[in-house]
């Protein structure tokens, strides 16, 4: 995946920042496992796993911290 899809981490609102964090997390999975068939095969396994869902939430939270810092925590 060499296309440029992330020109900036700057967002207008925390809500947009959180949505960007989710996008970053999902894109990270796609970069790690580019085979869509394999991704679809594995999805039921982690979609029904409390540990898997907790881990996914942690990745989103880390990405949200990064986006928040880039946006000076939306303070002006």
pLDDT digits (tens, 9 = 90+) for 10-65: 999 999 999 999 999 999 999 999 999 999 999 998 889 999 999 999 999 999 99
* pLDDT value, residue 2: 65
Q: In the prediction, which pLDDT does 72 show? A: 98
Distance CA 65, CA 36 (A): 28
Q: How far apart are CA 36 and CA 72, in angstroms?
A: 36
Q: What angle do CA 66, 72, 76 make, to 5 degrees?
A: 160
State the maximum Cα–Cα separation within the chain, in Å, rounded to a whole number: 45
Q: How far apart are the first and last CA of the chain?
A: 35
Full-model pTM = 0.89
Calpha distance 47→64 (Å, rounded): 21
Q: pLDDT value at position 3?
A: 81
């Amino acid at each position: 995946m060499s296309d440029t899809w992330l020109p900036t981490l700057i967002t207008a609102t925390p809500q947009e920042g959180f949505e960007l964090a989710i996008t970053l997390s999902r894109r990270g999975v796609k970069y790690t496992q580019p085979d869509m068939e394999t991704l679809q095969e594995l999805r039921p396994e982690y979609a029904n796993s409390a540990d898997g869902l907790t881990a996914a939430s942690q990745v989103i939270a880390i990405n949200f911290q990064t986006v928040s810092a880039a946006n000076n925590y939306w303070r002006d």
